[in-house]
């Protein structure tokens, strides 16, 4: 920092270094004001750094010099008045008008920007040396800007406009200037070519035109229509406190839906930016940006704000309970009740949110994965021109975990794969999809290309082919298929969906069982709701994991899980298929709720013989000798055994494959399935 005061021309006064800028002169004036008023802040070191010699500085702080504080301050005032108008003063006034700051708030903001720019001037106005609380800070600032200390304290409260908009925040510091924080982007207000309006635009951006529309959300048609009406009315009537919350799993189209709704009612849809210059917005800073946007667009009355990824901004119930988010909760509550610009909040989950805040939203919409027919339409739109087969597109649409966002990612990746073959492109798409699915839900994409299902190979007292035909007429039945593993229970549910031309929603333990109390019950309810809304068949695989006998439950959550399933079974209006290997383990109250309890047993000898004939034909072998049919009577085989043997034979040389070898392999599979008897006592 250059020397401010030069050697006096006469004994009457000092002169100002002509290289000193107006803002530096203002900062020096404030320091001299503080020293003049408060003896405890008088410091010869600070005066010497300004160009006042040691002997004179000592006399000055002792009020014994011929030139006093008043004369030095008057000299600075004359120098400041003779300088060109400070660009900061014009810019900060315009900035304050744009976001509705009061005159006091503008003065405080100006003080902080100048003080932070010239921290060395304030380096000896030290908190640790002279005071232990922030009360002195308010008094010092008030004295510098000629305001009331109580008013300054109110303007700097954590819930004040300056703090909530992240213009000025307070932290414990080593000196007066270090007590305050402000985003570096506001330093641009010092520049002559600064446009405050452009500066504010860094906190928001115009939302892109959506790629999806209302036709991609038919399962939410009523909620979307209501939200559009509420949003339109809020804009026309200039209502305050209008907020909407869209939540759901990542990639389900929440942001696209928000943009579409916004553009339906307004030509100006703004997203709250995640960055401001070089300052990355964390949770609190992103909220500050939202508050800034609310103030910026309050007067226009024709804009809709979209606040994406709000999960880290809304405080959790735990944080509120321990009291470490009280100020944040109060600020958000106030925002939700008073915001002048309608805002659409987007998050992935509301599980941990405080109900006191959730109730303040005008409408909450759960954006779930679209039903299979809708997913197929979206997949065809994104991938129809990429050259992949219709079967591949249909397979993608059949997997409920492949969301519109993942389909959009594949479409973007297509640009780099234009010169690859059809089969290679599908493999490349799988290389993109499978790691994403593995990270999200712990599995690869489902393969819809399953083997042809023949109901003739079900060993049961019910004609499964006739049941499938009747199912088309009465599609709200509840089936419980039980029997040994591999008898075709799960595949029959897929066969029913195929015959009835209905989507299949399959849920197993890994998708429904949660780590926390209440998560499993919620997942069960959501599974039934998903199937009912999508007009799908709900398949609960290995249902004994959820419907165990309550009398044998060791934990309370096991009982509540069964109770939830029983309630859902009573209320459900769609088709349900449950499979289990152990029907005797199911709760009796659950068993009686199934319309049909069908046992799928091991294959009969005739069925096993026919499957062997088909297997040998597929392997290019002649039909087996009739006498081998007798060997199947003693074996307990399932259709899955023949599928496994077919895969095993692919690893054998063709000349080594024979009927005897196949039967031996089948016998091994059957024996492995039988439980090993535990011998108790003496062995002779």
The mean pLDDT of 582-589, rounded to a whole number, is 85
Question: Where would I find the beta strands (DSSP E) of 303-385?
Answer: 303-307, 343-347, 363-366
Sign of CA dihedral 73, 74, 75, 76: positive
Map residue 236 onto helix, strand or coil.
Answer: helix
Place of tokens 């709720």: 593
Enter the pTM of the model.
0.68
User: For a pLDDT cut of 90, what percent of the chain falls above it?
Assistant: 19
What pLDDT score was predicted for residue 325?
Answer: 53
Cα 502 from Cα 115, distance rounded (Å): 69
Q: Which of 127, 100, 98 is nearest to 34 (CA)?
A: 127
Cα 177 from Cα 137, distance rounded (Å): 10
- pLDDT, tens digit (0-9, with 9 covering 90-100), for 155-168: 998 878 888 888 88
Please report which confidence band the pLDDT of residue 288 belongs to, taking 50, 70 and 90 as the band edges.
confident
Cα 25 from Cα 5, distance rounded (Å): 10
Query: Hey, which residues does 540 pair with through a beta bridge?
Result: 507, 578
Cα 167 from Cα 295, distance rounded (Å): 13
Q: Are strands 537-540 and 575-580 parallel, antiparallel or unpaired?
A: parallel
Contact at 8 Å (CB) between 125 and 41? yes
Question: Where would I find the beta strands (DSSP E) of 384-433?
Answer: none
Nearest 5°: the CA angle 462, 463, 468 is 110
| Stretch among 147-156, 283-292, 398-407, 619-628 having the lowest mean pLDDT | 619-628
Q: Are strands 279-280 and 275-276 parallel, antiparallel or unpaired?
A: antiparallel
Helices (H) and strands (E) in the chain, counts: 30, 17
Nearest 5°: the CA angle 305, 200, 363 is 15
Cα 565 from Cα 567, distance rounded (Å): 5
Contact at 8 Å (CB) between 366 and 223? no
Backbone angles phi, psi at 661, to 5 degrees: -65, -40
What does the mean pLDDT of the chain come to?
Answer: 82
Token reading at 452: 């042809």
Distance set, CA 285 to CA 182, 241, 344 (Å): 11, 21, 18
What pLDDT score was predicted for residue 322?
Answer: 39
What pLDDT score was predicted for residue 128?
Answer: 43
Contact at 8 Å (CB) between 252 and 378? no
Map residue 146 onto helix, strand or coil.
Answer: coil
Find which of 129-138, 196-205, 228-237, 526-535 is predicted with most confidence, using mean pLDDT: 228-237
Question: Where would I find the beta strands (DSSP E) of 119-194?
Answer: 169-170, 180-181
Cα 246 from Cα 263, distance rounded (Å): 16
Computed on alpha carbons and rounded to an integer, the radius of gyration of the chain in Å comes to 37
- pLDDT, tens digit (0-9, with 9 covering 90-100), for 123-156: 877 644 444 456 788 999 999 999 999 999 999 9
The answer for residues whose C-beta is within 8 angstroms of residue 226's C-beta and 6 or more apart is 363
Please report which confidence band the pLDDT of residue 409 belongs to, taking 50, 70 and 90 as the band edges.
confident
DSSP string, 598-651: EE-BPPPHHHHHHHHHHHHHHTT-PPPPGGGGGGGGG----HHHHHHHHHHHTT
Contact at 8 Å (CB) between 493 and 519? no
Contact at 8 Å (CB) between 365 and 245? yes
The answer, yes or no, to whether residue 531 has pLDDT greater than 80, is: yes
Other Cβ atoms less than 10 A from the Cβ of 684: the count is: 3
Cα 410 from Cα 412, distance rounded (Å): 5
Distance set, CA 475 to CA 206, 300, 463, 565 (Å): 47, 53, 17, 20
Distance set, CA 535 to CA 95, 295, 576 (Å): 54, 45, 11
What pLDDT score was predicted for residue 283?
Answer: 61
Q: Which of 21, 145, 27, 124 is nearest to 82 (CA)?
A: 21
Other Cβ atoms less than 10 A from the Cβ of 617: the count is: 11
């Amino acid at each position: 920092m250059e020397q401010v005061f030069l050697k006096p021309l006469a004994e009457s006064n000092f002169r100002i270094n002509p290289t000193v800028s107006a803002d530096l002169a203002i900062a020096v004036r404030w320091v001299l004001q503080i020293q003049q008023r408060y003896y405890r802040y008088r410091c010869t070191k600070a005066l010497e750094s300004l160009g006042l010699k040691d002997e004179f500085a000592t006399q000055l702080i002792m009020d014994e010099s011929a030139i006093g504080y008043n004369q030095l301050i008057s000299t600075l005032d004359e120098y400041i008045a003779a300088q060109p108008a400070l660009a900061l003063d014009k810019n900060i006034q315009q900035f304050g008008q744009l976001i509705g700051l009061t005159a006091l708030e503008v003065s405080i903001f100006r003080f902080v920007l100048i003080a932070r720019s010239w921290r060395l001037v304030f380096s000896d106005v030290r908190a640790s040396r002279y005071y232990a609380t922030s009360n002195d800070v308010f008094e010092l600032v008030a004295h510098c800007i000629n305001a009331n200390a109580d008013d300054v304290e109110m303007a700097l409260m954590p819930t004040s406009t300056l703090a909530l908009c992240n213009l000025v925040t307070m932290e414990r510091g080593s000196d007066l200037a270090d007590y305050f924080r402000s985003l570096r982007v506001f330093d641009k207000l010092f520049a002559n070519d600064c446009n405050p309006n452009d500066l504010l635009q860094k906190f928001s951006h115009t939302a892109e035109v959506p790629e999806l529309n209302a036709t991609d959300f038919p399962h939410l048609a009523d909620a979307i229509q209501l939200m559009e009406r509420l949003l339109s009315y809020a804009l026309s009537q200039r209502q305050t406190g209008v907020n909407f919350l869209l939540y759901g799993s990542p990639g389900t189209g929440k942001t696209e839906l928000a943009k579409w709704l916004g553009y339906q009612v307004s030509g100006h849809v703004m997203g709250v930016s995640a960055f401001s210059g070089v300052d990355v917005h964390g949770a609190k800073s992103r909220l500050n940006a939202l508050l800034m946007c609310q103030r910026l667009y309050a007067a226009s009355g024709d804009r809709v704000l979209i606040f994406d990824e709000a999960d880290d901004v809304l405080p959790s119930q735990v944080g509120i309970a321990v009291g470490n988010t009280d100020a944040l909760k109060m600020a958000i509550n106030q925002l939700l009740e008073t915001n002048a610009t309608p805002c659409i909040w987007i998050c992935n989950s509301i599980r941990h949110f405080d109900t006191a805040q959730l109730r303040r939203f005008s409408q909450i919409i759960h954006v779930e994965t679209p039903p299979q027919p809708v997913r197929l339409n979206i997949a065809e739109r994104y991938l129809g021109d990429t050259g992949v087969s219709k079967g591949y597109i249909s397979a993608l649409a059949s997997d409920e975990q492949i969301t519109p966002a993942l389909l959009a990612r594949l479409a973007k990746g297509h640009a780099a794969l234009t010169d690859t073959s059809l089969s290679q492109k599908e493999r490349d798409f799988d290389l993109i999809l499978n790691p994403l699915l593995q990270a999200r839900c712990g599995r690869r994409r489902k393969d819809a290309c399953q083997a042809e299902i023949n109901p003739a190979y079900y060993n049961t007292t019910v004609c499964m082919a006739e049941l499938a035909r009747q199912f088309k007429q009465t599609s709200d039945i509840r089936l419980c298929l039980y029997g040994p593993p591999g008898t075709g229970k799960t595949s029959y549910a897929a066969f029913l969906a195929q015959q009835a031309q209905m989507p299949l929603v399959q849920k197993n333990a890994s998708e429904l069982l949660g780590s926390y109390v209440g998560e499993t019950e919620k997942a069960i309810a959501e599974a039934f709701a998903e199937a009912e809304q999508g007009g799908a068949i709900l398949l609960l695989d290995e249902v004994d994991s959820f419907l165990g006998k309550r009398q044998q439950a060791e934990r309370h959550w096991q009982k509540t899980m069964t109770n939830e399933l029983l309630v859902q079974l009573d209320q459900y209006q769609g088709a349900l298929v449950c499979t289990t290997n152990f029907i005797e383990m199911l709760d009796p109250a659950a068993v009686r709720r199934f319309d049909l309890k069908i046992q799928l047993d091991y294959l009969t000898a005739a069925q096993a013989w026919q499957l062997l004939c088909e297997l040998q034909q597929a392997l290019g072998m002649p039909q087996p000798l009739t006498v081998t049919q007798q060997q199947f009577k003693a074996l307990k085989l399932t259709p899955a055994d023949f599928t496994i043997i077919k895969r095993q034979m692919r690893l054998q040389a063709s000349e080594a494959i024979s009927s005897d070898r196949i039967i031996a392999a089948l016998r091994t599979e059957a024996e492995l399935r039988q439980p090993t008897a535990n011998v108790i006592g003496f062995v002779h």
